[in-house]
Amino acid sequence: MTSSFNCGMRGFAARAPHHTKMNATAPSHTMVTTTAPPTLPQPVGETRVVFHHLNWQAYQQILQAVGENRAARLTYDRGILEITMPLEEHEFAAELIGLFIRILVVAMGQKIKSMRSTTLARADLDRSPEPDNAFYIQNQPLVAGRTVNFELDPPPRPGSGSRYYPHRH
């Protein structure tokens, strides 16, 4: 289920149900029918809420208010905040994809640094994805054994469920 909220105090917009109305000026046997716009297919295994027109400071306040010990994932992208509440099906798929990536990397004789669902905040890009899984494989030697600085280091590659953002130097 997706609902869109406009935080500019103009209310919220959600999918409207189908309506059937009688036309008051036409004979009683004539009906006028209007239908809701087509709905987008919903991702399986999660519920989403989307907020529009938020600035970076509002996003940071929400992030601080909900804290780190939460089931929801927050993704901020240039004024749009999407809060995702993954369900069992989603978590199973994300774990399976992460396991596949780890096995593949080991089989190829490479090293990996997992960032799991670390919030990849970049105020300079006005973006902050929070993936299910994110990995350093090719750039693992650059970040091995230390805390990653997302403003200086290249971003990890997403494993599943994230929107990749370009890196700036």
The pLDDT profile of the chain, 169 residues, written as one tens digit per residue, is 444 333 433 333 333 333 333 344 444 444 444 455 566 666 566 788 999 999 999 999 999 999 888 888 899 999 999 998 888 888 899 999 999 999 999 999 999 999 988 888 899 999 998 888 889 999 999 999 999 998 889 888 755 444 444 443 3
**Terminal CA-CA length for the chain:** 38
pTM, two decimals, is 0.61
Find, among 164, 63, 64, 80, the residue nearest to 126 by Cα: 80
HSE-up of 110 (CA within 13 Å, CB side)? 16
**Cβ atoms 121, 134 nearer than 8 A:** no
